[in-house]
Amino acid sequence: MLQHLLENTLSFRFSIRRITHGEENYIRFGKAIVGIGTSIIQQVLDTHVPSSNIAAAVVGNVYLGNKLTPKQKLLISQAHVAGYKDFDITLCYTLLRNVKVPNKSRFPAPTRGWGNQPLATDTTLSDDIERLRILRNEMFCHLPHPSIPIVQFTEIWTQLADICSRFKVLYPNSKDFCQELRKLELCNVTRVQWSSLVTLVEQCRGNNIGSN
């Protein structure tokens, strides 16, 4: 009861002031990176290592054994049943970069190597995986204030649109993320959504995707 009252009070308090255009941009980007970005990297991981095989692929990997959190290890152990639907960008990126599947090559590194910013001319699937990592870390989890100016937002949105377009070519039978991105660009946003994303950001600050 108290928790419900607190949530209603917070929602009312956040709804008093109209959100700024910068905060609207942040909401759209946050929904895109958490929703579309995560779905893309989940599908890439599933193509490289089917969820039914991921637990076996991780067993014996000393690096992953030390790096993965207990929660991540639990998700991996249940993936043969639940699939990758609860795997976030952090976990998918870590697995793509470090898992070695028997009788199969490692997932190819980005053009500039893992952990480095791709150039505009770098357009491989791995380059786009790296872009999603960087966008998630720098523009979602570590902004000083959850607001994105229009010029910067336009640049980011163009990057996301390009990523979705290239993904559509490689995965033609997948969900149309280009269309989903267009819907996000036009949808109504609210202060409650903004405050929810701020809460999510606080949770992900301690779960930064490193460059190794």
- Per-position pLDDT tens, the chain of length 212: 434 433 443 343 444 467 888 888 988 998 899 999 999 999 999 999 999 999 999 998 999 999 999 999 999 999 999 999 999 999 999 999 999 888 788 999 999 999 999 999 999 999 999 999 999 998 887 777 788 999 999 999 999 999 999 999 999 999 999 999 999 898 887 766 666 766 666 666 555 555 54
Under a CB-based contact definition with an 8 Å cutoff, are residues 201 and 137 in contact? no
**Does residue 25 sit within a domain?**
no
Q: Quote the domain boundaries for residue 105.
A: 31-207
**Does residue 196 sit within a domain?**
yes
Contact residues for 2 (Cβ-Cβ < 8 A; gap 6+): none
Per-residue buried b or exposed e for 89-113, using 16+ beta carbons within 10 Å of the residue's own CB: bbbbbbbbbbbeeeeeeebebbeee
The pLDDT value given to residue 100: 87
The pLDDT value given to residue 88: 94
Of 130, 132, 137, nearest to 115 by C-alpha is 130
**Does residue 126 sit within a domain?**
yes
Task: Give the total number of structural domains in the chain.
Answer: 1
**Does residue 160 sit within a domain?**
yes
The pLDDT value given to residue 65: 93
**Does residue 26 sit within a domain?**
no
The pLDDT value given to residue 210: 54
**Does residue 73 sit within a domain?**
yes
The CA-based dihedral angle spanning residues 172, 178, 184, 185, taken in that order and rounded to the nearest 10 degrees: 180
The pLDDT value given to residue 140: 83
Taking the mean position of all CA atoms in its chain, how far away is CA 2? 33
The pLDDT value given to residue 139: 85
**Does residue 85 sit within a domain?**
yes
**Does residue 23 sit within a domain?**
no
The pLDDT value given to residue 61: 92
The pLDDT value given to residue 204: 61
